[in-house]
Structure 1
């Protein structure tokens, strides 16, 4: 809660100093815990939109939003950290002026934000949000513009997560799955999406050769999911070979092992037995088991 001395100007100064102290202590704590460098950095709006794939936007007007839902900025990320604590004394004069106005009960205009899913990104009002956080508020008035994207922003915590989202978007452009099939393919490593995309394209090429019929990407994606992915995942579950991986990671891993061990594209008990035997001898991570895109073709 905001400190109260009965002197609004002194309290506003204390608000700023306390916010700066917390920002410095947070950086120190993250360093001691070995947290990634971007854990306290605001998410950059443009990079998020690019990674998720912009589809359109609409203004939805004045809303009351939660302060904790504001995770990024359009262009002022360097002046405040992820919790909107000032990163230097550069913003102090304006910050304390707004804090003083707030303490005196003066009218504070709404901020302006872009909404992507349940996340908000500030276009105007960084100091107002910082002051609101420092004074212990939980909500703020905002003019909201809703931005539609191809991918949901769920799972984005740090700037590094945008790489995975970007690769997933590119994968779904190459392999345009829909519905449950689209949602079920989840990989934790960005480059694995690239490897899986090449694998599906190679599978589709073999399918067209076998059937002598041209198929578009959407048809190949649907056929691969129903004729290849789902049956293999069922076998992996029965053989207890998924382990701590996601189903998509387990499929990609075993597809690479299948070709490397037996040099075949078929699926049968012999393939599963060979992979199971190798798993028992020397368990490997997904990255160690893949020999590159050619090993999956």
Structure 2
């Protein structure tokens, strides 16, 4: 929707701010009525995102034109604006209206400064400029961009709660350094399942080293677990149509848990032995 243009920049800027505040309040009300997560309208904190994904390095790539809807977070101003950079209170009003007035008069507005993580952008400096650009109906903005590379791809991050899953996955891949196709294939949806899976793989690797009487590094254990244990079990689960709505890794965790549950029952009848044998590596 286009902003109002009466020919009086100062008055229009005041109207723009009030409209942005009203939309922010209505958005909060709508989220409450829909019972959406508390963090659905909250800006993503840059530090938490990078911690969850694991930072590798950064470098400046200079001036770029970026889409406003790719800006999802902030370095330090997440309380002043919501996810769509609408003001959350009146405390930013004076500076906001000054920038909006200048924009309406056609004055030069400096580029903002952002970090880029994958396809996502996080504002270092220029929160008010982003907010005004949204209010004026713009779709892009000039930005000085610093590219940040992380161990995990940020794809799939929508809300703050998604960072928990990413953090657990990063820790899992440090414990179980899968590569290539294996890395992409082993995915779970619940954070705690990554912890359970990591413990399972480490235990499997310990038994493997005992059986072979040799010391293996984590990369080798991860590769052999995937090839000798995970893939055969998942293939059987597919053939038996037991994966269902779960991911293959979740189905694997379920059957691995059932194997140990059956062992703990101390029922050593033919059915139990047959079920365990089918699931052995």
Where on the TM-score scale, by shorter chain, does this alignment land: which range? over 0.9
2:239 maps to 1:238: yes
Tell me what 2:275 maps to.
Answer: 271
Q: How does 1:198-209 map to 2 (within 5 A)?
A: 198-209=199-210
Tell me what 1:36 maps to.
Answer: 37
2:119 maps to 1:118: yes
SS of corresponding position for 1:203: helix
- The alpha-carbon deviation at position 261 of structure 1 amounts to 2.2
Q: Aligned-pair RMSD on alpha carbons?
A: 1.7
2:172 maps to 1:171: yes
Q: Is the Cα contact below 8 Å between 1:262 and 1:271 reproduced in 2?
A: no
- The alpha-carbon deviation at position 273 of structure 1 amounts to 11
- The alpha-carbon deviation at position 15 of structure 1 amounts to 0.6
Distance between the aligned counterparts of 1:211 and 1:46, measured in 2? 44
Q: How does 1:80-95 map to 2 (within 5 A)?
A: 80-95=81-96
Q: How does 1:103-142 map to 2 (within 5 A)?
A: 103-142=104-143
Tell me what 1:21 maps to.
Answer: 22
Distance between the aligned counterparts of 1:35 and 1:11, measured in 2? 33
Distance between the aligned counterparts of 2:185 and 2:3, measured in 1? 45
2:221 maps to 1:217: no
**Which whole-Å deviations, capped at 9, do the CAs of 1:229-251 have from their partners, x for residues lacking one?**
11111100000000000111111
Distance between the aligned counterparts of 1:64 and 1:270, measured in 2? 62
- The alpha-carbon deviation at position 270 of structure 1 amounts to 3.4
- The alpha-carbon deviation at position 3 of structure 1 amounts to 1.2
- The alpha-carbon deviation at position 271 of structure 1 amounts to 2.1
**Any gaps of 5 or more consecutive residues in structure 1?**
276-297
SS of corresponding position for 2:143: strand
Q: Is the Cα contact below 8 Å between 1:58 and 1:147 reproduced in 2?
A: yes
Q: Is the Cα contact below 8 Å between 1:261 and 1:274 reproduced in 2?
A: no
Instruction: List structure 1 segments (4+ residues) > 4 angstroms apart after TM superposition.
Output: 272-275
- Normalising by the residue count of structure 1, what TM-score does the alignment of the two structures yield? 0.89
Quick one: structure 1 residues 208 and 17, their matched pair in 2 at CA, closer, same or farther if it must change by over 3 Å?
Answer: same
Q: Is the Cα contact below 8 Å between 1:49 and 1:149 reproduced in 2?
A: yes
**Any gaps of 5 or more consecutive residues in structure 2?**
267-271
2:183 maps to 1:182: yes
Quick one: structure 1 residues 269 and 14, their matched pair in 2 at CA, closer, same or farther if it must change by over 3 Å?
Answer: farther
**Which whole-Å deviations, capped at 9, do the CAs of 1:58-83 have from their partners, x for residues lacking one?**
00000000000000000000000000
